[in-house]
Structure 1
Amino acid sequence: MNITIKQLRAFAAVADAGSFTEAATRLYLTQSGLSLLVKELEGELGVRLFDRSTRRISLTVAGADFYPLALRVLQDLDSAVNSALQLQDVQRGAIRIACTPLYSAGLMPAAMDAYKREFPAIHIKLLDSLNEVALQRVASDEVDFSVAPTRPISQNIVQQPLFRDRFRLICPVNHPLVSGRRVSWKEALQFPFVTLPTDYTRQLQADLAAHSPSLILRPAQQVAFLTTALGMVKFGHGIAALPSSAIHMVAFFGLAAVDVEAPVVDRQICFFQRRGKTLSPAAESFREFLIRFTSDLSSLPESGTVPRDAWFS
């Protein structure tokens, strides 16, 4: 059996109009073309659908039974097409994103809030994950993509640069380095440091050593979580070096962010996506939005205590 949508539409139009002439006008078909479609449908079904006379057209018993079934097929098809068009127009959809804790705490919630103002019907699910777990979720197709610092990847993952995140010193507001001027790493390393996990500390040390072998980072405290590091700094256990994306949290802890140079150290933040995967229209829309959103990060305050609403102004 090879019933087509055109045949079903022709049948429904004649049944609704009660006339081949009127139905042909509605469908922008010739009357002969419409009659052929109905005959083909009757041939496929093996029954007559209409009783034809010189004065009127009426459904046969078989046609009356078939009419609601045909109508349901056409309605389901129209609904599916409309749904697909809404997805294409980003009127609805769902997105799943894995993101490392630092960027889950500030960057992504701010970006999601701004995006939802444009596309309120899109649902975004954020999975805060350690770096390795974020990539595993991409590889297993659990999420559409992840946002995390650059790192070695497997062949089934593609990474795309998003933005560079510059390191700044995080200090108590009364710390000697909070003087409104830029400071050097040589000066900063004279003070105790609170650092994050081993790979984080190791990469920071490598960046400093690449500039000068004399720049040696010796952590006084090493902790697992960003909020712990900020708490340790607040109560005088040392200063910290964190990417600028952590600045929005500084004011909550009553701390200050200070520019540090010689060298300028930053991190490349990237999209990670499974190779060969085509993003849904909603996910692609958010990816493009996030590129635009992060292009404005350079406008963040550069030093001193950061206003609480700096990220959201």
Structure 2
Amino acid sequence: MNPTLRQMRAFVALARTGNFTLAADYLHVTQSALSGLIKELEQTLGVRVVDRSTRRIALTGTGNELYPLFSQMIDDLDGALANIADQAQLRKGIVRVAVPQLMACTLLPQVIAAWRERHPDIRISLSDSPVEGVTARVLSGETDFGIGPERDAAPQLQARLLMEMPFEAVVPPSHPLAGRTRAAWADLAAWPLISLRGQFTERLLADMDAAPPGLALKPAHEVTYMTTALALVAAGLGITVGMPYAAPLVRLHGLTAVPLAGPVLTRRFFVYTREQRSLTPAAEAFIAFLFDFVADRAAATAPLPR
């Protein structure tokens, strides 16, 4: 016994309306097509499900037994299909993203606010993490994707370049470097450097080792979060280096960012996803929106040609 979905829909419509004409109109089929579907259902089941009369129909004992089951099945299916359609049309859904803690309180709120203006019914679940925890959350399936600095290649992890930014020195407004339009890395050696623990500092020091002699820096303090580093700088305990996307928080602390050169060192940031795992339409759309947002922001802040 394998009744088809069309047969079940025809039976439920007939049971709800109690009339072949009304049920046919509801399903947008002819009355003869509806009658044929009911006959096919009865042939499939081997029993009658409705008793026909000239004016109305009545469910048989089997029909009364089947009606609530078929009705619930169809309602559940229609609800699931409507939910999928809403997700495909970006009328509903949730996007889970992991980002470093600093990015979670600077760049991402701006992106999410701009996204919400277009898609108010798509919720963004933001996980602020230590830098080293971003890819772990992606690989575990806790988030749909993550945004973070370049890391060593990992199995089952796909990386798409989002942006590349140069390092800046962050100093108090009264600092001797604050009035400069540009500073050299060697200029930082005279003040205590507050840096981050982990690969951030390791990669920076490796870059410095590869640079011309005299540029080596030794951190005086190492902290886990850049927000802590900025607070220490604001308290006059040293200086730090960071990325331009942190500008809102730098300003909030009343600090000054100075571009660094000699050499210009950069960091690349990637969108990380799990390989061979399909994203939801909402997640795909948000990633595309993120790339456009970052590109537009970069174009707006790029220096004019001379």
Decide: shared fold, TM above 0.5.
yes
Q: CA deviation at 1:30?
A: 4.5
Q: 1:255 & 1:22 partners in 2: Cα distance? A: 73
Checking the alignment, whether the CA contact within 8 Å between 1:166 and 1:265 is kept in structure 2 is yes
Which amino acid is 2:169 matched to? L
Asked if 1:210 is matched to 2:210, the reply is yes
Instruction: Please give the per-residue CA displacement for 1:138-166, whole angstroms capped at 9, x wherever unaligned.
Output: 11212111111010132211111111122
What does residue 172 of structure 2 align with?
Answer: 172
Q: 2:85 & 2:239 partners in 1: Cα distance? A: 53
Q: CA deviation at 1:17?
A: 5.1
- Taking the TM superposition and a 5 Å limit, the aligned residue runs for 1:223-238 are 223-238=223-238
What does residue 142 of structure 1 align with?
Answer: 142
What does residue 157 of structure 1 align with?
Answer: 157
Checking the alignment, whether the CA contact within 8 Å between 1:172 and 1:254 is kept in structure 2 is yes
Return the TM-score normalized by structure 2.
Answer: 0.88
Which amino acid is 1:294 matched to? V
Checking the alignment, whether the CA contact within 8 Å between 2:15 and 2:59 is kept in structure 1 is no
Taking only the aligned residue pairs, the percentage that are identical comes to: 37
Q: CA deviation at 1:184?
A: 2.3
Q: CA deviation at 1:175?
A: 1.4
Q: CA deviation at 1:171?
A: 0.7
Q: CA deviation at 1:22?
A: 5.3
Which amino acid is 2:58 matched to? L
- Taking the TM superposition and a 5 Å limit, the aligned residue runs for 1:246-261 are 246-261=246-261
Tell me, what secondary structure is at the counterpart of 2:137? helix
Q: 1:198 & 1:76 partners in 2: Cα distance? A: 50
Checking the alignment, whether the CA contact within 8 Å between 1:50 and 1:59 is kept in structure 2 is yes
Q: 2:131 & 2:59 partners in 1: Cα distance? A: 67
Q: 1:220 & 1:68 partners in 2: Cα distance? A: 73
What does residue 311 of structure 1 align with?
Answer: none
CA 1:233/1:301 → structure 2, altered by over 3 Å: closer, same or farther? farther
Q: Which moved more, 1:164-173 or 1:57-66?
A: 57-66
Checking the alignment, whether the CA contact within 8 Å between 2:102 and 2:227 is kept in structure 1 is no
Q: Which moved more, 1:186-195 or 1:5-14?
A: 186-195
Checking the alignment, whether the CA contact within 8 Å between 2:172 and 2:254 is kept in structure 1 is yes
Report the aligned-residue RMSD.
Answer: 2.4
Q: Which moved more, 1:259-268 or 1:116-125?
A: 116-125
Which amino acid is 1:100 matched to? P
CA 1:107/1:152 → structure 2, altered by over 3 Å: closer, same or farther? same
Q: 1:162 & 1:290 partners in 2: Cα distance? A: 9
- Taking the TM superposition and a 5 Å limit, the aligned residue runs for 1:285-304 are 285-298=285-298, 299=300
Return the TM-score normalized by structure 1.
Answer: 0.86
Instruction: Please give the per-residue CA displacement for 1:266-288, whole angstroms capped at 9, x wherever unaligned.
Output: 21111111111101112112111
Tell me, what secondary structure is at the counterpart of 1:179? coil
Instruction: Please give the per-residue CA displacement for 1:170-204, whole angstroms capped at 9, x wherever unaligned.
Output: 01101121225222223343433222215322212
Q: 1:184 & 1:296 partners in 2: Cα distance? A: 29
Q: 2:108 & 2:91 partners in 1: Cα distance? A: 21
Asked if 1:56 is matched to 2:63, the reply is no
What does residue 186 of structure 2 align with?
Answer: 186
Checking the alignment, whether the CA contact within 8 Å between 2:91 and 2:119 is kept in structure 1 is yes
CA 1:9/1:167 → structure 2, altered by over 3 Å: closer, same or farther? same
Q: CA deviation at 1:16?
A: 4.7
Instruction: Please give the per-residue CA displacement for 1:88-123, whole angstroms capped at 9, x wherever unaligned.
Output: 112111222222222122122222222223222222
CA 1:238/1:125 → structure 2, altered by over 3 Å: closer, same or farther? same
CA 1:52/1:200 → structure 2, altered by over 3 Å: closer, same or farther? closer
Q: CA deviation at 1:230?
A: 1.4
Uncovered stretches (5+) of structure 2, i.e. residues with no partner: none
Uncovered stretches (5+) of structure 1, i.e. residues with no partner: 303-313
Q: CA deviation at 1:82?
A: 0.7
Tell me, what secondary structure is at the counterpart of 1:169? strand
The count of residues paired between Structure 1 and Structure 2 equals 301
What does residue 305 of structure 1 align with?
Answer: none
Checking the alignment, whether the CA contact within 8 Å between 2:102 and 2:225 is kept in structure 1 is no
Q: 2:44 & 2:57 partners in 1: Cα distance? A: 20
CA 1:18/1:201 → structure 2, altered by over 3 Å: closer, same or farther? closer
Q: CA deviation at 1:14?
A: 3.5
